[in-house]
Amino acid sequence: MRVNLNNKVYNLFLIIALALFFSSVSKYVGADSKFRTALLKKFYIIGTGGINGVYYSLGSAIARLFNSRMEDILTISEPTNGSVSNIELLRSKEVTLALVQSDIAYDAYFGKGIFEGKPFPNLRILAALYSESVHLIVLNDSPIKTPLDLKGKQVSIGEEGSGTALNAKILLDECGIKSTDFHPKFLSLAKATDALKSGYIDAIFFTGGVPVEGFSLLSNEKPIRLISLPDYNLKIMLDGRPYFTSETILAGAYRGVTENVNTLGLRALLITTDSFESEKVETILQIIFSNSDYLTSISNMTESIDLKKALVGVDSKMLHQAAAAFYKSHGIF
């Protein structure tokens, strides 16, 4: 009996409390637009890369900036396997924005290479942010001196779904090394550097902005060496592939690396789809480029993110129309 009475009193109290709560909420929703937008926030997800790469730290910094500058949007950055995965996540609308390599974006848009038969014509570029270089690294005392020496070796070519893995496969193929000539390992950067340190693998491929944090950390523990791509192989890679450039990783980029290294490069792009709201494009590009010093310092890169270079390596057909308008108004398109 006592229990029942208590329950009744409790229920009555609960109903009054809820009524008071909802009446005060509706008052706020009617009167205070800040409260209303808080209830109606849109959600952006940025597809990035592994946690030891540049994409993840940069994507997270961009998300933080968006959250502090746009009241109506909640942005999170999501670690992923890298460029190829990001294309598929964007296609299936699981992410709103993504960082991807320019070569992968190009192939996806036009349905070439691994995207043969499944083009993604709705893909749109918002900005090119910085250059990425193909790194091929070994421990300093390794007998490996050229890509040809990878025959028979255990080589980490990046995670399945990474741009790195695709670059490594194409490059080795062009160097005359078939997938059966070596032992490919699909490792994250963190696992690969641990495995190289412990002698389980012989070499690591990674396509990323210089310096790649995982390699900086490794070079503090063990002397490393970067392998240059022979001119002949570079020439073959550049032929008919407009998104590739020839890059030099400068001596000193990593501890103990005393020589310049010639390799293949491309651009890291921020992409979305043609259905991304035009009104927000100008805002987010403004946020990114007016905070480029902060973003460069967070990602710890030697090359700075710069509005003047936002269209380097960008095929204008793939540019979001509101981004084109933004760059026109800044005199760079």
Residues that bind ligand GLU (CB under 6 A): 49-50, 53-55, 82-83, 101, 132, 158, 162-164, 207-208
Cβ proximity to ligand GLU, 165 vs 323, nearer residue:
165
Q: DSSP state, 228?
A: P
Per the CB < 8 A criterion, the answer to whether 163 and 187 are in contact is no
C-beta closer to ligand GLU: residue 132 or 202: 132
CA torsion, ordered 84, 88, 89, 94, to nearest 10 deg: 180
Q: Which is nearer to ligand GLU, 156 or 207 (CB)?
A: 207
- Helix ranges, 111-251 (H): 163-174, 189-197, 213-221, 231-238
CB of 158 to ligand GLU, least distance (A): 6
Closest residue to ligand GLU, Cβ-based?
53
C-beta of residue 87 within 8 angstroms of C-beta of residue 80: no
Q: Give the nearest distance from C-beta 299 to ligand GLU in angstroms.
A: 8
- Considering beta carbons, is residue 149 or 194 the nearer one to ligand GLU? 194
Q: Which is nearer to ligand GLU, 159 or 202 (CB)?
A: 159
- Per DSSP, 317 falls in state G
Q: Work out how close the CB of 7 gets to ligand GLU at its nearest, in angstroms, rounded to a whole number.
A: 57
Alpha helices, H only, the chain: 2-31, 33-39, 54-69, 83-91, 102-110, 163-174, 189-197, 213-221, 231-238, 278-290, 292-299, 321-329
Q: How far apart are CB 243 and ligand GLU at their closest, in Å? A: 13
Nearer to ligand GLU, 206 or 327 (CB): 206
Minimal distance, residue 132 CB to ligand GLU, in Å: 5
Distances (CA, A) of 2 to 8, 9, 12, 70, 218: 10, 11, 15, 53, 69
DSSP 3-state of 262: strand
Cβ of residue 147: shortest distance to ligand GLU, in angstroms? Answer: 18
